[in-house]
Amino acid sequence: MDERIIVAIDGPAASGKGTVAKKLAKILNLPHLDSGQLYRRIAYQVLKDSVNPNDKKALIELTKKINFENTEIEDLRNDNISSVASIISQYSEVRDQLIEYQRDFASNGAVVDGRDIGTIIFPNAKYKFYITASLEQRAERRYLQLKRDNAEIDRNNIKNDIKMRDLRDINRKIAALRKAVDAIEIDTTEMKIDDVIDFIVKYIHKG
């Protein structure tokens, strides 16, 4: 396949887009970028350095110092980091500093997942998908995922966190989560991950 092909995958929290993007990248032999990890990496540093997540000036300074090649330092998927990532990602001061990294990463083609990939980062991506699922289903998936590591986890808290994050991501002033007009929407509420991948691979191979 053309090595500069970009597959943009957007969608709300816990929609399964990350898992889909990762598997798809393997199948298509393209690098995968989980852009949420970039925002999570900043959130991790905000919490570690006790920075106020609404202090834009401090956020810019902190973001400049981060090496984004290294997002595997810690488990970045916990609830605290998720909420702070959603807060700091509202600011253009933060988002602007990540644009170049994402475009450079995909300069030879990539599968990239996030919230604004098909709308802002790669508006000309050849393939765009918007992966979604009902709030209940997304909360249940995230619950089962987190429960593996933490038996104390509460279903309702997870559902509320996801709901809050959706509201923030959808209603923010810049790069809000929305389906690109030319993206294909896939509602995975009743679908297995492998069926979603199958659908996308077939679609891409059809050209």
Crossing angle of the two packed helices 155-171 and 79-88, in degrees rounded to 10: 10
Produce one character per residue of 152-182: b if its CB has 16 or more CB atoms within 10 Å, e if not: ebeeeebbebbeebbebbeebeebebebbee
Nearest CA among 175, 185, 154, 165 for reference residue 17: 185
Tokens at residue 182, please?
């030319």
> Distance between CA atoms of 1 and 108, rounded to whole angstroms?
12
> Distance between CA atoms of 103 and 117, rounded to whole angstroms?
10
91 sits near ligand DC (criterion: CB under 6 A): no
132 sits near ligand DC (criterion: CB under 6 A): no
Nearer Cβ to ligand DC (1/144):
144
138 sits near ligand DC (criterion: CB under 6 A): no
> Distance between CA atoms of 88 and 202, rounded to whole angstroms?
37
> Looking at 118, 128, 165, 197, which residue binds ligand DC (CB under 6 A)?
165
> Looking at 7, 25, 85, 180, which residue binds ligand DC (CB under 6 A)?
85
**Which one of the spans 63-71, 114-122, 147-155, 186-194 is the region binding ligand DC (CB under 6 A)?**
114-122
Nearer Cβ to ligand DC (105/207):
105
**Cβ distance 117 to 125 under 8 Å?**
yes
- Residue 194 makes CB contacts below 8 A (sequence gap 6+) with none
Closest contact distance (angstroms) between CB of 207 and ligand DC is: 26
Nearer Cβ to ligand DC (13/25):
13
Nearer Cβ to ligand DC (8/30):
8
Residues 52-81 as x/- pattern, contact with ligand DC by CB under 6 A: ------------------------------
Nearer Cβ to ligand DC (36/53):
36
Nearer Cβ to ligand DC (62/85):
85
Question: Which residues here bind ligand DC, judged by CB under 6 A?
Answer: 13, 35-36, 39-40, 82, 85-86, 89, 114-117, 165, 169
